Amino acid sequence: MNSAQPFFDFTSVWSSMPILLKGFAIAMACATVAIIIAILLGLIVALMRLSRVKILRWIAFIYTQFFRGIPLYVLIIWVYFGLAIAAGVNLPAIPAGIITLALLNSGYLSETFRSGILAVNKGQIEAGMALGLSRRNVMLHIVLPQAFRVIIPPLGNQYVDAIKDTAILSIIGVPELMRESKALANLYYRPFEFYTFAGLLYLFAVLVVSRGVSVLEKKLSAHSAQTTVIIDVLN
């Protein structure tokens, strides 16, 4: 037993710290850029879902179902290899990874936005209309600001998911935390230590994001939404 390696030996992890932190930074950057794009796409799709035009509603519905239903693993292969084969578009790994995450998350976020928008009291919209505001201004100044408050917690959850999902970008060669951990684990024969450390970094990121979300939530609910009162239009 005297020649056996110690059970836990994090020396190689410490010495690889710059590579690991760089991988972590790339993962965070991918998740952040992807979630920002997903918010914009998700909002557009949600507004289409709520449109009075049937075709737009249908397109949005199919979009949502598709990107919520497809596994990340398959989608990433399609975007990275499929686009290259079918359309000759050779995306570098990082943009392909970001696009994949953005599409996938936009599917979920469009539903989040939709429910947030629908949660705004109908009376608020009527009050805006009664002032003579255009539909656009009612949406922009009355509905969306109130919807946004409701969706901050699920938005935070989505961001957390996106951070963890970056691990799968390793399969197309994005040099993010998981890929670097795997390479180093193989190099030093220390899989347990490297994966554990990677896990701790993800956990750290998620805790920071969750904390940020709850701070933002408290700040915005300082003047909270009016209690929803259902108006009896027949009165």
Partner 1 sequence: MSSPVSAPDALAPDFLKLVGVSKTFGNHRVLDKIDLAVSEGEVLVIIGPSGSGKSTLLRCINFIAAPDEGEVIFQGHSWKAMSSKYNFLANRKYEQKLTVLRSEIGMVFQNFNVFPHMTAAQNVMLGLTKVRKQSKDNARKAAVEALSQVGLAEKVDQYPEKLSGGQKQRVAIARALALQPKVMLFDEATSSLDPELVNGILEEIRRLAKAGMTMVVVTHEMNFAFQVAHRIVFMDQGRIVEIGTPDQIRKTTEPRTRSFLSAILN
Residues that bind partner 1 in the complex, under the rule CB under 8 A: 52-53, 121, 123-124, 126-135, 137, 141-142, 145-146, 149, 222-226, 229, 231-235
Nearer to partner 1, 44 or 220 (CB): 220
Contact 60, 45 (CB under 8 A): yes
Contact 206, 156 (CB under 8 A): no
Nearer to partner 1, 85 or 233 (CB): 233
CA distance 50 to 202: 36
Query: Cβ of residue 220: shortest distance to partner 1, in angstroms?
Result: 9
Query: Cβ of residue 128: shortest distance to partner 1, in angstroms?
Result: 8
Q: What is the DSSP string of 103-143?
A: HHHHHHHHHHHHHHHHTS-HHHHHHHHHTT--HHHIIIIII
Nearer to partner 1, 6 or 132 (CB): 132
How do the residues of the chain divide into helix, strand and coil, expressed in percent and rounded to 5?
80, 0, 20
Query: Cβ of residue 175: shortest distance to partner 1, in angstroms?
Result: 43
Query: Cβ of residue 122: shortest distance to partner 1, in angstroms?
Result: 9
Nearer to partner 1, 4 or 53 (CB): 53
Amino acid letter at 67? F
